[in-house]
Structure 1
Amino acid sequence: MAKVRVERPLVEMEGDEMAQVMWAWVRDRLVLPFVDVGLVRFDLSIGHRARTDDRVTLDAASAARRHGVSLKCSTITPDRTRQRELGLARALPSPNGTLRAALDGVIFREPIICRNVARLVPHWAQPVVIARHAFGEQYRAQELAVPGPGTVRLVFDGADGSESRELYRFDGPGVALALFNIDASIRGFARACLHYGLQRRMPVYFSHKATVLKQYDGRFVDLFAEEFEAFAPAFAEAGLVYAPRLIDDMAAFSVKSTGGYLWACKNYDGDVQADYMAQGYGSPGLMTSVLMSPDGRLVQTETAHGTVRRHYDRWRAGAPVLANPLATIHAWSRALWHRARLDGTPDVAHFAETLERAAADLVDEGVLTPDLAPLAATRRTPVDTAGFIDAVAARLAGALR
């Protein structure tokens, strides 16, 4: 069987623990036997990041910008406990945060829907894509513990003058928090969401609280509206809509709807809603994650779960691995699909779609890992992770003949 040839390489970022083991299994059993693709590899495991003082993450980001499509395995972001456990000189920053900042991207999370996996919200028949603005807000905020009576002010020192506004006059101890965002990032967020909505043929809704945060959220609403002007003809031709919606209304709508739309969220909102949606669709392990630049020309796919340490400890002890690898499979398939989209190679896109369908068909037939088996209406004797990947490889080989 001739391999499908990919014209341009993928940037591969390897990770940590069980996620990296499953990553290698999927790459070596489901991708490389069927696809002739160049891989520009970077080791983002915690040990290698520590040895390079995290320079490797910046090098990986540079390569991702150069080649256009990259994919990333889950990595460890150490807290103080893990820093001591791993013997690190310092608690390295999140490589995801470093890469998102370098690529100026927006995160798109989408559930992997399998008919045989029960959803907590049964009428969510179509996927909902959660778009998360990955800049500013709680993740780059300044917080202050107020020790006692006094006044907290919000101060702007500008080149053409200054402005000071009283935030709150404290009668006793408390806390204060200052958030920020910038027009350039908000505009990029809007463009990325609108590009993605067109690619997936989905209406786009931006959730906000501009009734209360008239200047802060109001700025998001205004800039989304300005950016949409350039997209309006294409949206109309595709029969799609864009609309801003109050987050209260959007949350209620999400519960009642059947899915099939893109929900654009501010940074922290997107963090929360992605987890909420993952549970509603069945499992956090059944989610895809794509980071895309505002112009749609840079894409990084990710595994949407952590490093699966519990399963890693079992695997090192010699026990079989029982985690489902669907998110890892989709990280590879979606990277190949975007490579095909950018390069104009439909045979590569066909392979990516066939790989996803082979995995989903097995789940629907009851071939499941133990973590998914309790959610399934139809199931055979559960298989371990390696057994599931081997079954996908056999199904894929048959479909490509």
Structure 2
Amino acid sequence: MTGKIEMKGAIAELDGDEMTRVLWQAVKDALIAPFVSLKTEYYDLALARRDDSDDAVTREAAAAIRRLGVGVKCATITSTAARAKEYGLKRLTPSPNAIIRSELDGTVFRKPILARNIRGTVRCWEKPIVLGRHAYGDVYKNAEIAVPGAGKAELVFTAADGAVTRRTVAEFRGAGVVQGIHNTDESIESFARCCFRYALSEGIDVWFGAKDTISKIYDGRFRSIFERVFGAEYRARFEAAGICYSYTLIDDAVARIMQSKGGVLWACKNYDGDVMSDMLASASGSLAMMTSVLVSPGGAFEYEAAHGTVQKHYYRYLKGEKTSTNPVALIFAWTGALAKRGELDGTPELCAFARKLERATLDAIEGGDMTADLARIAEPVASAALDSWQFIGRIAERL
């Protein structure tokens, strides 16, 4: 007997890059391994590994999440020309998050992690704002061309019966760029249902924002599908629960959000959700104070840290410095995955441990132990900022 909590099923563990990869291991070693007999299927999604496998490892990881029902993911690098040179890549690798989301479909729900002594910059927010981000298509599954010079760019669709629909995108008089994006009715319907179900489970209103005044066909399709699904399947249930659904233009939604008290699910298309979730996290205190879970229509859940790999801190770490990088989103990715595994497997002690770890993390912050990003905005101001390892140690003491 180890005295640790035993897991029945495994979790797909997706490791990442740079500073978050370092802290990923530190969190496991100090906060999870001493208490849980961790059972995972491990996939190394470091940038070089993805490049070597031509992203096969990313697709294998997505398949494991679908098969096991639960995954947990560290932050990863999406390559750029500069990153390709730095890491000696053979090609520009796609976003691993985009690949996983495309494989699993579904919706990403992001919610701020609130501590009583951390006040965000938007003081009217009294309750968390949940952001529901569509996880398929748009710019993350695009096709794009660098236009070398004068010519005509066209959008062409060839139907299964051979019929061709053609639209002119632009007449180029010189060099430029052109991009094509897409989505599917099936995915948009899943997005709508995920948002409405989540809102019912939380008892909160749903606001959906798009730009159908400009994108009358593409964004207009999102709006019409949301309204159809809501009217046919959820209107009566929302009325019984005392909550409502409303559509508004995305720019109006931003203005409303900035003046609201919170306590609402803000549904966004893929790119809008990417940008606005970072705005919500930053305005609530820190990019590291945000939970993120991908909910697939097939019943799979992927918990992740929604921020980047903290590149600058990693370079300092390589020089031997102890950085004050906030690991809270990494911790909550693990707690979310462990709690869901416990829920699916009927292991209440695993669920209870996950909640205790979350509480210990918040108790540390509310007790004055925090990293530099939070120390600057705490009320009262923290007397000192801890490095990441000290902060993790204070949480471990509370456990």
Tell me, yes or no, whether TM beats 0.5: yes
Q: Could you say which residue in structure 2 is the equivalent of 1:235?
A: 238
Listed one character per residue, the Cα deviations across residues 92-128 of structure 1 (whole Å, up to 9, x for unaligned) are: 2222122111112322222111121221101212111
Instruction: Single out whichever of 308-317 and 256-265 deviates more from structure 2.
Output: 308-317
CA distance in 2, matches of 1:333, 1:269: 27
Q: Could you say which residue in structure 2 is the equivalent of 1:387?
A: 390
CA distance in 2, matches of 1:356, 1:74: 19
Aligned partner letter, 1:110:
K
Instruction: Single out whichever of 341-350 and 375-384 deviates more from structure 2.
Output: 341-350
CA distance in 2, matches of 1:302, 1:39: 15
1:164 to 151, 163, 166: 166
Q: Check whether the contact 2:30–2:396 (CA below 8 A) recurs between aligned residues.
A: yes
CA distance in 2, matches of 1:186, 1:356: 33
Q: Could you say which residue in structure 2 is the equivalent of 1:28?
A: 29
| Structure 2 residue 115 is the aligned partner of structure 1 residue 133 | no
Shift, 1:363, TM fit: 0.9
Q: Could you say which residue in structure 1 is the equivalent of 2:290?
A: 287
CA distance in 1, matches of 2:243, 2:175: 50
Shift, 1:182, TM fit: 1.4
SS class of match (2:166)? strand
Aligned partner letter, 2:124:
H
CA distance in 2, matches of 1:261, 1:142: 34
CA distance in 1, matches of 2:247, 2:19: 40
Shift, 1:159, TM fit: 3.8
Instruction: Single out whichever of 77-86 and 337-346 deviates more from structure 2.
Output: 337-346
Shift, 1:335, TM fit: 1.1
Shift, 1:25, TM fit: 1.2
Aligned partner letter, 1:390:
G
CA distance in 1, matches of 2:158, 2:252: 37
Shift, 1:257, TM fit: 0.7
| Structure 2 residue 218 is the aligned partner of structure 1 residue 216 | yes
Task: List aligned pairs for 1:2-401, cutoff 5 A.
Answer: 2-143=3-144, 152-160=153-161, 161-167=163-169, 177-228=179-230, 229-295=232-298, 297-378=299-380, 379-396=382-399
* Pair 1:323–1:166, CA change in 2 (3 A): closer
Listed one character per residue, the Cα deviations across residues 222-259 of structure 1 (whole Å, up to 9, x for unaligned) are: 21223333344543444332222222321121011111
**Identity rate, percent:** 45
SS class of match (2:99)? helix
Aligned partner letter, 1:158:
A
Q: Check whether the contact 1:11–1:63 (CA below 8 A) recurs between aligned residues.
A: yes
Instruction: Single out whichever of 24-33 and 138-147 deviates more from structure 2.
Output: 138-147
CA distance in 2, matches of 1:380, 1:222: 53
CA distance in 1, matches of 2:196, 2:28: 31
CA distance in 2, matches of 1:346, 1:200: 21
Aligned partner letter, 2:268:
C
SS class of match (1:90)? coil
Aligned partner letter, 2:188:
I
* Pair 1:28–1:236, CA change in 2 (3 A): farther
Structure 2, unmatched stretches of 5+, are none
CA distance in 2, matches of 1:306, 1:270: 15
* Pair 1:236–1:339, CA change in 2 (3 A): farther
Aligned partner letter, 1:261:
V
Aligned partner letter, 1:99:
I
Q: Check whether the contact 2:286–2:373 (CA below 8 A) recurs between aligned residues.
A: no
CA distance in 2, matches of 1:162, 1:202: 44
Q: Check whether the contact 1:368–1:380 (CA below 8 A) recurs between aligned residues.
A: no
Shift, 1:301, TM fit: 0.8
Listed one character per residue, the Cα deviations across residues 137-186 of structure 1 (whole Å, up to 9, x for unaligned) are: 23334456677777655443324533334555677777654432211111
Q: Give the aligned CA root-mean-square deviation in angstroms.
A: 2.5
CA distance in 2, matches of 1:183, 1:140: 16
Q: Check whether the contact 2:98–2:136 (CA below 8 A) recurs between aligned residues.
A: no
* Pair 1:166–1:313, CA change in 2 (3 A): closer
Listed one character per residue, the Cα deviations across residues 15-34 of structure 1 (whole Å, up to 9, x for unaligned) are: 12210111111112111222
Q: Check whether the contact 1:326–1:359 (CA below 8 A) recurs between aligned residues.
A: yes
SS class of match (1:372)? helix
Aligned partner letter, 1:64:
I
TM-score if structure 2 supplies the norm length?
0.90
CA distance in 1, matches of 2:366, 2:96: 35
SS class of match (2:372)? coil
CA distance in 2, matches of 1:318, 1:168: 52
CA distance in 2, matches of 1:176, 1:73: 32
Shift, 1:89, TM fit: 2.2
Instruction: Single out whichever of 56-65 and 66-75 deviates more from structure 2.
Output: 56-65
CA distance in 2, matches of 1:146, 1:51: 30
Number of matched pairs: 395
CA distance in 1, matches of 2:219, 2:249: 10
Instruction: Single out whichever of 323-332 and 49-58 deviates more from structure 2.
Output: 49-58
Shift, 1:59, TM fit: 1.6
SS class of match (2:334)? helix
